[in-house]
Amino acid sequence: MLKMSSEPAVPGKRTTLHGPTMGTRWSASIDADTTVNLTALRQGLAAAVEQVDEQMSPWKPDSDLMRLNQAPVDAWVDLPAEILEVLECALDVQHQSAGAFDPCVGALVDAWGFGAVRDVPDAQAIRDARQSTPLSVPGCLELDRPAGRARKSAALKIDLCGIAKGYAVDRMARVLQQHGVRHALVALDGELRAMGGQASGAPWAVALESPEAGRRAAHGVIELEDLSVATSGDYRRYIEVGDARLAHTMDARRCAPVNNAVASVTVLAPNCMRADAWATALLVAGPVEGLVMAQRVGIEVLFLLRRSEDLEEVGLGRFGISANRPNLVGDSNSTTPVL
């Protein structure tokens, strides 16, 4: 429990607040330009991420997500506005990505050993999940945001792990704004959001991690100002089947873990919720389909592809291979602040 006290920020001084959540840690690096009560701010940030976890965790049996998953088909379920906002975005990205992002993969996640049910693949559970997982979300999940409710028309098991952390970052940004903070870098695992630039006028520098299992090293640096970044990859949580590395991210179209040449995908977007969802979608889509998709939607993206012993960069926007890229240096599954 946080102990309340009057702990003001010092204008112009860099302050970093942090705490545990969702099996990882959140952090907020702040250049305070007003008098901010850091204790109250820290409590607000912790409460914001905790609310997201309480509502959207697939690991907590009493979360709002689990209530929806366990509800009978065709029964309306009252839900908080926050989870309905995330579900609406998830369904929108699912539609725009032609199913590459799919929030209804919970049964597959569990069957392959990445969820709360088991930690190794189960052949019978995989067969059952393949038979029960719908191939198309539209029509299977109906949202009624004005009434604050949702209902399923099929026995869906929803998983929001590909979008909820990004949303939690956006929630922290709202808290900072409410406390009058204008210069901050907010992070949760591999999702970050820059609020303005640094107080000095320089952009925030964010290291893009090299996609190497068991080793943390920077592949390059991205400079951010009023922008979010999210990275999805194959090297943090995975299983190995023969010579194949199968990431924990599910490809609902194949009813199996993603299995392609993509080591990591980094996406830039105005808010972190969309950056998070699109990083997942483009990891599943792969470099060929993913680049076409990203170009159509207007996404700045960097793919790091495994080519023998080397990594190949392919991207759009500031990551375009033919562009002058001063904001990406060095020779990407999380982004971490360089402070």
Predicted confidence (pLDDT) at residue 139 exceeds the cutoff of 80: no
In single-letter form, the type of residue at position 203 comes to P
Which amino acid belongs to residue 120?
A: V
In the CATH scheme, what is the homologous superfamily, with its name and number, of domain 64-152? ApbE-like superfamily (1.10.3980.10)
Instruction: Read off the pTM.
Output: 0.88
Which amino acid, residue 212? E
Contact call for residues 68 and 158 (beta carbons, < 8 A): yes
Give tens-digit pLDDT for 50-79. 999 999 999 999 999 999 999 999 999 999
- Residue pair 29/16 in contact (Cβ under 8 Å)? The answer is yes
Q: Is the pLDDT of residue 143 over 90?
A: yes
Tens digit of each residue's pLDDT (9 = 90 or more) over 148-180? 999 998 888 999 999 999 999 999 999 999 999
Q: How far is CA 55 from the centre of its chain?
A: 16
Q: Would you say residue 215 has pLDDT above 90?
A: no
Phi, psi of 122 (to 5 degrees): -125, 115
pLDDT of residue 6: 44
User: Would you say 332 and 209 are in contact if contact means Cβ atoms under 8 Å apart?
Assistant: yes
DSSP 157: -
